[in-house]
Chain A
Amino acid sequence: MLWLYRFLWIASSLGTATILIVASNPRSERPISAGEWRTVQQGRFTVQVPPTFRAHRDALTQMGMNKPNSPIQLQDAVRIERGARTGVKIALVTVRSDLMPVGDEPSAVNPQEQSGVRLLRQVHATQLQNLREALAEFKERQQRPVKVQGVHGLRTDFEYTLTHWIPFLNMPARGYLITVPVSQNEALHIIAYTPPHQFEMYQPLYERMLNTLKLNAGATTTAHGGWE
């Protein structure tokens, strides 16, 4: 009987080695969005997510993104993630004008638009500051205007390190923050993050997710598909 066991372990070991070689080929990697997307409703948000992503709306996410006495207060937040460095956080924030520092007066030329752009920049910068404090080795890369569902917003790309208690096992991550206005005193933060080598692969997936995002009671969409 022993020759049979010997044959089995030798053949299986060769099979294992072959499978590991096949699996390590980048061409054998399965598309992440394979399978049917499902609609998830969490608090103020309704969004379609790929099958491998889980949606959480917990107190920790909300506490981590809110700061006391800040003019920008978090209303609701949801995490849609696949792992520690793969996912999207969506947060709806309110701008409290009574706590807002007094800044420059809006210029005479189109004062409403000037005020909107300034507010957007301010909200975006506040969230970037929160990220800078929360994430290790946070580095901003570039800032540029973007459009999400027809609404103009701001996007900042960044890199950070996911820390481990054994420093040797720290992992780099890449992501971006998008801020879009929702109403006169509300804005939406979208924080997306992935492993650096998979950034290009996940970006279209996150864009598709954001294009299906809807805000529930409390905000309405415009005829162009954006938010009012």
Chain B
Amino acid sequence: MMQHNPLYDVAEEAKKIKVLYEVNTGYTLTAKLERFFGVAMLIAVLNLIFILWRPEWSLWGNLAALTLIGAWLPNSYLGEKLEDLGAYRDLLILMLLHGALSNPVAALVGYLLFLALAWLITRGELTNTALVFALAYAGFRSLFDVTAILVGALDIADWLRIQIDFMNALPLLGMAVGWFIGSLFRND
């Protein structure tokens, strides 16, 4: 006969809290996803039209679009508010990785490796508030870059090249600023 595990009870309690939270905000995960992508995809499609029109200004279009998407992320309830120290730490790591690698996917992979390593070191006691933010950034940035490659504004070799280029991380900074501003307006 197995002994009663007190951690099991705590986990069950935690699940109830999650359900209560969803009841409180009124959003399940699907609803949160639909809320986020409803607005974010609209912003993205407008930016894609802008890239088709003015490919040479794609950096500024990406900056504006990702800032707005960042602002919508906490308000859609898909992402958490930018308020704990762990999220700022993760943003700094993402920014440094993006500047050093100059590729959104490489930066995401580097960040995931960092998270996995830190999770192992701290034995699971690690916040990963910025994970949703990092996934959203890598996804939308890659979509914008693919469009720029297709219209001939960006060579795929430049996108794949690993090099130090902090200017390329400017849209990430914009999205982080958007996340910060959006967090101020979220009504909990």
A interface residues with partner B (beta carbon < 8 Å): 2, 4-9, 12-13, 15-16, 19-20, 22-24, 28-30, 32, 35, 51-52, 82-86, 162, 164-165, 169, 171, 173, 195, 198
One of B39, B146, B147, B154 near A8 (C-beta < 8 A): B39
Of all chain B residues, the one with the shortest Cβ separation from A8 is B38
Whether B116 is near chain A, meaning CB under 8 Å from some CB there, is: no
Q: A83-B155, A165-B162, A171-B160 are in contact. Are A16 and B45 (CB under 8 A)?
A: yes
10 additional contacts, CB 8 Å, given A9-B37, A24-B150? A13-B41, A16-B48, A20-B147, A22-B52, A28-B151, A52-B153, A86-B155, A162-B157, A165-B162, A195-B155
Known contacts A16-B48, A29-B152, A164-B160; A2 and B42 CB within 8 A of each other: no
Q: How far is the CA of A186 from the CA of B42 in the complex (A)?
A: 58
Q: Is the CB of B55 within 8 A of A12?
A: no
CB nearest to A14 among chain B residues:
B45
- A164: which B residues are within 8 A, CB to CB? 160-162
Q: Is B13 an interface residue (CB 8 A)?
A: no
A5-B35, A6-B34 known; A30 and B155 CB under 8 Å? Answer: no
Contacts of B38 in A (CB 8 A): 4-9, 12
Q: For the complex, what is the distance from the CA of A23 to the CA of B5, rounded to whole Å?
A: 58
Contacts of B55 in A (CB 8 A): 30
A84-B161 CB under 8 A given contacts A8-B41, A30-B152 = yes
In the bound complex, what is the Cα–Cα distance between A82 and B56 (angstroms)?
11
Report whether A19 and B157 are in contact in the complex, using a CB–CB cutoff of 8 Å.
no
> In the complex the two chains form, is B143's CB within 8 Å of A16's CB?
yes
Would B44 and A29 count as touching, CB distance under 8 A? no
Does the CB pair A12–B42 fall under 8 Å? yes
A12 touches B45 (CB 8 A): yes
- Residues of A contacting B147 in the complex (Cβ-Cβ under 8 angstroms): 19-20, 23
Q: Chain B's nearest CB lies how many Å from the CB of A223?
A: 39
Identify whether the interface residues of B are mostly helix, strand, loop, or mixed. helix
Asked whether B49 lies within 8 Å of A83 as measured between CB atoms, the reply is no
List, in ascending order, chain A residues with CB within 8 A of B153's CB: 30, 52
**A5-B39, A8-B38, A8-B39 known; A51 vs B56 contact (CB < 8 Å):** yes
State in angstroms the CA–CA spacing of A83 and B44 once bound together: 25
Shortest distance between the CB of B10 and any CB in chain A (Å): 33
Cβ–Cβ < 8 Å partners of A32 in chain B: 152
Shortest Cβ distance from A86 into B: residue:
B155
- In the bound complex, what is the Cα–Cα distance between A23 and B147 (angstroms)? 7
Asked if B83 is at the interface (CB within 8 A of a chain A CB), the reply is: no
Q: A5-B35, A20-B150, A23-B147 are in contact. Are A171 and B41 (CB under 8 A)?
A: no
Return 19 A-B CB contacts under 8 Å, by A number. A2-B34, A5-B38, A9-B41, A15-B48, A16-B45, A19-B45, A20-B48, A20-B147, A22-B52, A23-B48, A23-B151, A24-B150, A29-B152, A30-B55, A83-B158, A85-B157, A164-B162, A171-B160, A195-B157
**Least distance between A150 CB and chain B CB atoms (Å):** 33
Contacting pair A169 B39 (CB below 8 A) = no
Q: Quick one: which of B32-71 are within 8 Å of A by CB? A: 34-35, 37-39, 41-42, 44-45, 48-49, 52, 55-56
List chain B residues, Cβ under 8 A from A162.
157
- Interface residue? B19 (CB, 8 A): no
